[in-house]
Amino acid sequence: MKPPPFDYHAPTSVREAVEVLAEVGAHGKVLAGGQSLIPLLNMRLAAPAHLVDINRVAGLGEIQTDATGVRVGALARHAQVERSAAACLAQPLLRQALKLVAHPVIRNRGTIVGSLVHADPSAELPAVLALLGGSVRLAAATGEREVAAADFFTGPMESATRPGELAVSAFFPAWDGGTSFIEVARRHGDYAMAGVAAAVRLDDLRITAAKVVCVSVGPVPVVVEVTGECGNRPVASVDWRAVVAAVQDRIEPEADIHATADYRRHLTGVLVERALKAAADA
Amino acid sequence: MTTKLFGEPVRRREDARLVSGEGRFLDDLGQQALAAAFVRSPHAHARITSIDVDAALEVAGLVAIYTWEDLPAGVAEPLPLLIPHPALTHGRTAYPLARDIVRHVGEPIVMVVARDRYLAEDICSLIEIGYEYFKPVVGLEEAVSSTHLVHQDVPGNVGAHLVQEVPSAGGQSAAEAIAAAPHTLAFRLDIERSACMPLEGKGVYARWDADDESLRVYSSTQTSTSVRMAIAAKLGLPLPKVEVIAPDVGGGFGVKIVHPWPEEVLVPWAARLLNQEIKWTEDRREHFISSAHERAQIQHVQVGFDDAGRVLGLSVEILHDHGAYTPYGIIVPIITSTQLLGPYRIGAYRVEFSSIYTNTVQVTPYRGAGRPQGVFCMERTMDKIAQKLGLDRADVRAANFIQPDQFPYDQGLIFQDGRPLIYDSGDYPESLRKLKDLIGWDEFPALRESARAEGRRLGIGLGCYVEGTGVGPYEGGHIQITSDGRVHVSTGLTSQGQGHETVFAQIAATELGVPIERVSVVTGDTRRFGYAVGTFASRAAVMSGNAIALACRKVREKALRVAADALEADPRDLEITDGVVHVVGSPAASIPLATVAVLSNPLRYAFDEEAKRATQFATTGSMDRPPVAEGEEPGLEGKGYYSPIRSTFASGMHAAIVETDPETAEIRILRYAVVHDCGKMINPMLVEGQIHGGVAQGVGGALYEKMVYDEHGQLLNASFMDFLMPYATEIPHIETDHLETPSPLNPLGIKGAGEAGVIPVSAVIAAAIEDAEGFPIDRMPISPSDLYDLRLRSPR
Ligand SMILES: Cc1cc2nc3c(=O)[nH]c(=O)nc-3n(C[C@H](O)[C@H](O)[C@H](O)COP(=O)(O)OP(=O)(O)OC[C@H]3O[C@@H](n4cnc5c(N)ncnc54)[C@H](O)[C@@H]3O)c2cc1C
């Protein structure tokens, strides 16, 4: 459990970082919080020839909040965002999701942007970005681009980030309604067997907008718009079976050693109803 | 005894060191040593056709590469079969490095020694091994019916087969008793694999002293004395030239009693050959795939009982998965089949087990050591009887209990120590009464109803066990009181965090009448004590505790004799308080133990003021006697050995209330209660700690942990990411109550407590889930996904 040899780079500016990344291309990996990458290296499941440690890069730790949403810099740790009153006021779903991410010690190091680039279909933050329709800003030696969530997550552990690119920030839009995140994990802090985040808007107690995102039941976070199924009704008279069925139609759960595909489908259904009700209540 | 520390909740003396980073674990030692790493088989069953090291030889920093062919005679032989048994007709052990066939993923094939561990692992990845693949044997029932064999010369993959049969008082066999019984049941139970998973894996660090031709080995082991003997034998070294030390050991739970591990032979061998210090520290993946697992069994049960639920006949057939090798013999299935009977007095009993080879990691004892499976069997049986008869589950147990006036109680079986299974003492009805009080057994129906009204699903379960603890053959203790008044205690068995430094010091301080601050304890260091068995089977307190007490009594007697001479008093009038010997009733006539220590050792040379008192012209001893009288020895020093006639039997009962989510099938333990009886408690706080840790491991085994092998014999969850050891967040608050039924077998009246907590947990949780759900739970562990499946298959 020792990593294979690699060259270590520690740039101090975004410019320097993207230059190194351009040079090493596909042989390089960015090291942010290291909570996902270091285990992969130690288990020799990844063997990049170059590690570009961005922890000394100036200006990447910022959390900017305004009425439109929250922009999170590449070095903002899970714990910092979780504790940022302004960020969590502008977008409460961030905190609702972050308290489900791993354990405090991991949240102290792990970064939100790292989690997005890592693109684990069981991870909470990619789901949040997908649900809210946020975006990721990618910098390269040749310039910057902003990629929408819908285009960013391309497969399990695969994002639109290209070799040579550095994700510098992510934008989580505000939502003028209620949100919630509910999941069932085997142990406290584990990746969920199934989990659902919901965003709901009410008008005079009627559901006028509703959508959910599901984790661990597809190659990428699965966003399902259920406004139609909620039928512009109050929570108590929604046909929840129809809502659940609409979501279950869209997910592609697979079995693993912790849960069968059937159980994941069932569980997602249960959580869809619970999450939507909680979001309507929020 | 005047300084009464025995029985007090003294705080653990080792904790300050261990929790503040001051502990010295294996990997803290030998920072300059070369590192060893191993190429391990990626296949479950294959013949090695070639080993190509060419690319590896190019790497700067490589020191040596060894395969089986490089090993000298002693080292090249298969590792020892530690506990032979006549029923183990086909025992097999591995070579330290695979000779030609590998039989599980993880078996070591090549040893690499390099400048550091990083390089050693790089080099391992450059070694290419060719294989001819065989179909692996995975799964117990599959192994029995398979035409493929793990060992070509072991037909049917059966390593051992053993039947024990105890007829009823009226002479009926179990089969006859069951056939004649008013009620019968038959069912199948299934328990999956788990493993010890100490936080610190195994590790060995060896240094050869070429000038002295001696070897010092540090090993993260549960038995340094036996590792020492194994190394001396394997390497052909004189025993006095080999020292083995167990430094701070970060948990063992059984896996480190197995020895010598391949690395425990290979690392010292290479250190001597290369005349260089070498260290190997096991990593977590290695621990998963190349140490040991436990638990997996399938049991077929037949039981006959009367209208009161009394068991008239019980017949159990056990399939036990022992993995690819049997270094520890068949201790685990023997314990299952004997301890299965628990606190019950049953009619006729027949137990038969087959111990089966599979192409998986070998199975050796893990805390509980076969008991959790046996208790699962018996307690599920009790619940099924109650269910069939519509009786209260606690009442059925009570109807079967051995009564307090029936001790010693002979179960008629042969236990794991080769001695008769005779319970020494206990009070099971009282334990049950306390347990029912603690958990609120009789009030539970009302609680269940009020929860049901809120749409919540609750269940309650209980389980009882008896645990044979303190198995022999013996342990020893050595006490030396030096002329500074300090008391040095040593015992040969090792410590893995249990708190021996505290409890052994409590015993010595109490026996000798000295402040505990003056007592220091050393364990597991063959330089200090050469004779020992090891730490396992809840035996350390019973065995070494009593040995240390006996050693103290000898030293105390001598101290009183020497003091009596000096004080011109009768030794029978003397007492030791706070490290001072004094005449009872006249405190002025006194002499510190430090001075007694000086006087006990007649000197020629004075090295300080105190020592002057013992030199030849200073003493007033009689000129008619030699300075050291016949039969005496110099110094305030003594050894004691404790060797019990047989094991002493602790017992306990657990109960739990669980909640299952009607929708998500999540399982939550709301309350967990333990009543425990380990005889006299040396330190109730440490007993409590042992119970907590045990229950935590039990919860792991009941709800989280399993070893998931695929049909290729690959372990799919060989990391802490996927092997779900519970976190503190998964462990409920544990409520405890105690009973103290002293053991009549040993001077201190104590029984073991180390394994107790883990034993009945799977049985208890299964019972509670069954109670909540209304269908049988016959397979553990159980996950929410499993429970969801069961619900679909067993509509309420
Ligand atoms: C025990 C444990 C439990 C966990 N449980 C959860 C959980 O329940 N839910 C959850 O969501 N996560 C969980 N995680 C993962 C954790 O949240 C990680 O921190 C996160 O996934 C990655 O963030 P990081 O900063 O550590 O990234 P790193 O490990 O440093 O990098 C991860 C990957 O992203 C790339 N990368 C990182 N930053 C950038 C960047 N700015 N630009 C380009 N590429 C980049 C790296 O090259 C690498 O490929 C867990 C981790 C552990 C160790």
Task: Tell me the pLDDT tens digit for each residue of B508-519.
Answer: 999 999 999 999
User: Does the distance separating the beta carbons of A184 and B784 come in below 8 Å?
Assistant: yes
* The token pair that represents B618 in the structure block: 């200073």
Residues B357 and B443 in one domain: yes
Position A58 in a domain = no
Q: Are residues A94 and A155 in the same domain?
A: yes
* Beta bridge pairs of residue B165: B350
Q: Quick one: B133 exposed, middle or buried, by C-beta within 10 A (0-12, 13-18, 19+)?
A: exposed
In contact, A222 and A248? CB cutoff 8 Å:
no
Residue B641 phi/psi, 5-degree rounding, is -120, 145
CATH code (residue B63): 3.90.1170.50
Residues of chain B with pLDDT > 90, as a percent, come to: 93
Q: What is the ipTM of this complex?
A: 0.96
Residue A192: pLDDT over 70 = yes
A226 and A135 inside one domain: no
Among residues A123, A145, A173, the one where a domain terminates is A173
Residue B318 to residue A188: CA distance in whole angstroms: 35
Q: What is the DSSP string of A41-79?
A: HHTTS---SEEEE-TT-TT---EEEETTEEEEETT-BHH
- Would you say residue B368 lies in a domain? yes
For B658, how many CA atoms within 13 A lie in the half-sphere containing its CB? 30
Assigned domain for A264 exists: yes
- On whether both A46 and A71 belong to a single domain, the answer is no
- Same structural domain, A186 and A270: yes
Nearest to B476 by CA among B547, B534, B550: B547
Encode B502-512: b = buried (16+ Cβ within 10 Å), e = exposed: bbbbbbbbbbb
> A272 and A225, same structural domain?
yes
Among A165-169, B221-225, B581-585, B785-789, name the one with the lowest average pLDDT: B581-585
Boundary (domain end) residue, out of A135, A151, A173: A173
Ligand 1 atom with least separation from CA of A168: 41
A104 lies in some domain: yes
- Domain annotation covers residue A2: no
**Is B643 in the A-facing interface, judged by CB distances under 8 Å?**
no
Q: What secondary structure, in 3-state letters, does B484-540 show? A: CCCEEEEECCCCCCCCHHHHHHHHHHHHHCCCHHHEEEEECECCCCCCCCCCCCCCH
Is residue A38 included in any domain, yes or no? yes
CATH number, domain of B784, equals 3.30.365.10
Core vs surface per residue B239-276: b (16+ CB within 10 A) or e:
eeebbbbbbbbbbbbbbbbbbbbbbbbbbbbbbbbeeb
In a domain, B25, yes or no: no
Which B positions 658-677 lie with beta carbon below 8 A of chain A? 663-666
The structure's pTM equals 0.96
Going from the C-alpha of A27 to that of each of A119, A152, B79, B121, B520, the distances in angstroms are: 19, 21, 45, 21, 56
Looking at residue B795, its pLDDT comes to: 65
Residue nearest to atom 1 of ligand 1 (CA): A102
CATH number of the domain where residue A28 is located: 3.30.43.10
What is the band of A273 on the pLDDT scale with cuts at 50, 70, 90? very high
All residues of chain A having their beta carbon less than 8 Å from the beta carbon of residue B732 are none
Tell me phi and psi for residue B166, to 5 degrees.
Answer: -120, 115
Q: Express each pLDDT in B364-373 by its tens digit.
A: 999 999 999 9
**Has residue B23 been placed in a domain?**
no
Q: Which of B625, B642, B659 is the last residue of a domain?
A: B642
B167: in domain: yes
pLDDT in tens, A53-111: 999 999 999 999 999 999 999 999 999 999 999 999 999 999 999 999 999 999 999 99
Residue nearest ligand 1's atom 21 by CA: A115
Interface test with A, best of B116, B125, B664 (most A CBs within 10 A): B664
Look at residue B155 and tell me if it is in a domain: no
pLDDT of residue B606: 83
For residue A124, the domain's CATH number is: 3.30.465.10
How far is Cα A233 from Cα A166, in angstroms, rounded to an integer?
A: 45
Omega cis (within 30) before B473: yes
Mean pLDDT of chain B: 95
pLDDT tens for residues B338-358?
999 999 999 999 999 999 999
- What is the separation of C-alpha A91 from the centre of its chain, rounded to a whole number of angstroms? 14
A131 and A48, same structural domain? no
Contact B760, B372 (CB under 8 A): yes
Q: How many domains does chain B have?
A: 3
What is the distance of C-alpha A63 from the center of its chain?
Answer: 16
3-state secondary structure of A31: strand
Residue A1 lies in a domain: no
Tokens of B86: 């006549």
**Chain B nearest C-alpha distance from A201 (Å):** 26
- Residues B216 and B248 reside in one and the same domain: yes
Longest Cα separation, chain A: 62
CB pair distance less than 8 Å for B724 and A186: yes
Q: Which two structure tokens, joined as six digits, stand for B61?
A: 């920093």
Of B230, B249, B281, which residue is a domain's last?
B281
Which domain does B73 fall in, by range?
33-134+202-281
A167 and A211 together in one domain: no
Task: Judge whether A143 is closer than 8 Å to chain B, CB to CB.
Answer: no
Q: Amino acid letter at B294?
A: E
| Mean pLDDT lowest among B417-426, B583-592, B657-666 | B583-592
The verdict on B375 and B492 lying in the same domain is no
Percent of chain A whose predicted confidence (pLDDT) is above 70: 100
Flag whether pLDDT at B622 surpasses 80: no
Looking at the domain assignment, is residue B691 inside a domain? yes
In this prediction, residue B1 carries a pLDDT of 40
Q: Provide residues with CB under 6 Å of ligand 1.
A: A 29-37, 54, 74, 101-102, 106, 110-111, 113-115, 117-118, 123-125, 161, 166-167, 189-191
pLDDT per position as a tens digit, A131-180? 999 999 999 999 999 999 999 999 999 999 999 999 999 999 999 999 99
User: Buried (b) or exposed (e) across B681-699, using 16+ Cβ within 10 A?
Assistant: bbbeebbbbbbbbbbbbbb
Which domain range does residue A215 map to? Answer: 180-281
Q: Are residues B489 and B636 in the same domain?
A: yes
CA B28, B31, B33, B37 torsion: positive or negative? Answer: positive
pLDDT at B304 exceeding the cut of 60: yes
Q: Do A43 and A73 lie in a common domain?
A: no
Which of A193, A257, A274 would best serve as a mutation to test chain B binding (most B beta carbons within 10 A)? Answer: A257
B5 found inside a domain: no
Same domain, A111 and A21: no
Residues B466 and B614 in one domain: no
Contact with chain A for residue B145, Cβ under 8 A: no
- Are residue B302 and residue B338 in the same domain, yes or no? yes
Q: Are residues B206 and B298 in the same domain?
A: no
pLDDT band at B494 (very low <50, low <70, confident <90, very high): very high
Inter-residue contact B505 to B520 (CB < 8 Å): yes
- Facing residues of B218 across strands? B205, B245
Q: What is the pLDDT of residue B467?
A: 95
Ligand 1: residue of A101, A158, A220 to mutate (most ligand atoms within 8 A of CB) is A101
Residue A86 lies in a domain: yes
Residue position matching structure tokens 């609680």: B447
Question: Is residue A249 domain-shared with residue A165, that is, in the same domain?
Answer: no
Cβ–Cβ gap B788/A266 under 8 Å = yes
**Predicted confidence (pLDDT) at residue B619 exceeds the cutoff of 90:** no
Do B525 and B388 share a structural domain? no
In a domain, A273, yes or no: yes
Q: Which residues of A touch B704 (CB under 8 A)?
A: 186-187
Q: Does residue B789 contact residue A263 with C-beta atoms inside 8 Å?
A: yes
B700: closest chain A residue by CA: A187
Q: Which residues pair with B299 in a beta bridge?
A: B189, B318
The domain spanning residue A211 has which CATH number? Answer: 3.30.390.50
Residue B785, min C-alpha distance to chain A (Å):
5
Compute the distance between CA of residue B460 and CA of residue B448 in angstroms, rounded to an integer.
9
Q: What is the tens place of the pLDDT at every residue in B87-111?
A: 999 999 999 999 999 999 999 999 9
Q: Do A161 and A211 share a structural domain?
A: no
CB contact (8 A) between residue B785 and residue A44: no
B378 φ, ψ (degrees, to nearest 5) = -70, -40
Q: Determine the distance separating the centroid of ligand 1 and the alpha carbon of A36, expressed in angstroms.
A: 4
The per-residue pLDDT for B796 is: 59
Burial of B624 (0-12, 13-18, 19+ CB in 10 A): exposed
In the prediction, which pLDDT does B702 show? 98
pLDDT digits 0-9 by tens, B22-66: 999 999 999 999 999 999 999 999 999 999 999 999 999 999 999
Q: Dihedral through CA B523, CA B525, CA B526, CA B530, nearest 10?
A: -10
Residue B605 — very low, low, confident or very high, per pLDDT cuts 50/70/90?
confident
Among A128, A156, A173, give the residue marking a domain's end: A173
Contact B718, B288 (CB under 8 A): yes
Rounded-to-integer distance, Cα A231 and Cα B251, Å: 58
What is the model's pLDDT at position B388?
Answer: 98
DSSP secondary structure, B169-225, as one string:
TTS--HHHHHHHSSEEEEEEEEE--B----SS--EEEEEEETTTTEEEEEE--S-HH
The helix/strand/coil state of B603 is strand
- Token pair, residue B341, equals 């009977």
- Range B622-626 average pLDDT: 82
Nearest CA to ligand 1 atom 51: A35
| Sign of the torsion formed by the C-alpha atoms of B487, B492, B496 and B500 | negative
Backbone angles phi, psi at B170, to 5 degrees: -85, 5
Where does a domain end: B590, B617, B642? B642
Instruction: State which ligand 1 atom lies nearest to the alpha carbon of A111.
Output: 25
In the sheet with A28-31, reading across from the earlier edge strand, the strands are A7-9, A50-53, A28-31
pLDDT tens column, A210-263 = 999 999 999 999 999 999 999 999 999 999 999 999 999 999 999 999 999 999
The answer on B213 and B182 residing in a single domain is no
Q: Are strands A206-215 and A192-203 parallel, antiparallel or unpaired?
A: antiparallel
Whether residue B413 is found in the same domain as residue B332: yes
Instruction: Mention every residue, 6+ apart, whose C-beta is less than 8 A from residue B592.
Output: B485, B579, B580, B581
User: Quick one: A167 and A203 in the same domain?
Assistant: no
Is residue B493 located within the same domain as residue B478? yes
Q: Looking at the complex, report in whole angstroms how far the Cα of residue B453 sits from the nearest Cα belonging to chain A.
A: 20
Structure tokens at A109: 């190091």
Beta-carbon contacts of B624 under 8 Å, excluding residues fewer than 6 positions away, are none
User: Is B378 within a domain?
Assistant: yes
Checking if the pLDDT of B2 tops 60, the result is no
Domain count, chain A: 3
Q: Are residues B715 and B787 in the same domain?
A: yes
